[in-house]
Amino acid sequence: MAFDAWDGEDESAAGRFVPLYVLVNGRTSPRDSRLDLATQVVALPVDTRLLDPEYLRIVDRCGNWISVAEIGAYLQLPLTIAKVMVDVLVEQGYLGVGSPAQRKIVDRHLLDSVLAGLERL
Amino acid sequence: MERTSVKIVVAGGFGTGKTTLVGSVSEIPPLTTEEVLTEASVGVDDTTGVEGKTHTTVALDFGRITISPDVVLYLFGTPGQDRFWFIWDELAQGAVGAIVLVDTRRLESSFPAVDYFERRGVPFVAAVNRFFGECAYTEDEIRSALELTPEVPLVWCDARDRGSSKLALIALVRHALGRLSPARA
Ligand SMILES: Nc1nc2c(ncn2[C@@H]2O[C@H](COP(=O)(O)OP(=O)(O)OP(=O)(O)O)[C@@H](O)[C@H]2O)c(=O)[nH]1
Ligand SMILES: [Mg+2]
pLDDT digits (tens, 9 = 90+) for A29-68: 554 467 889 999 999 999 999 999 999 999 999 999 999 9
Question: How close is the Cα of B91 to the center of ligand 2, in Å?
Answer: 15
Question: How close is the Cα of B109 to the center of ligand 1, in Å?
Answer: 14
What is the pLDDT confidence band of residue A107, given thresholds at 50, 70 and 90?
Answer: confident
Q: Which of A65, A78, A82 sits opposite B3 (nearest CB)?
A: A65
Tell me the whole-structure pTM to 2 decimals: 0.86
Strands (E), chain B: 4-12, 31-39, 54-68, 71-77, 97-103, 124-129, 154-157
Going from N- to C-terminal start, the domains of chain B cover 4-179
Rg of chain B over all Cα atoms, to the nearest angstrom: 18
Average pLDDT, stretch A2-10?
41
Interface pTM, i.e. ipTM: 0.87
Contact (Cβ atoms closer than 8 angstroms) between residue B100 and residue B33: no
Which residues pair with residue A41 across a beta bridge? A66, A97
Cβ of A17 and B86 within 8 Å? Answer: yes
Average pLDDT, stretch A16-23?
52
The percentage of chain B sitting over the pLDDT mark of 70, rounded to a whole number, equals: 84
- Classified by CATH at the fold level, domain B4-179 comes out as Rossmann fold (3.40.50)
pLDDT for B49: 43
pLDDT for B69: 92
Average pLDDT, stretch B164-173?
97
Cβ of A115 and B166 within 8 Å? Answer: no
DSSP B15-44: TSSHHHHHHHH-SSPPEEEEEEEEE--TTT
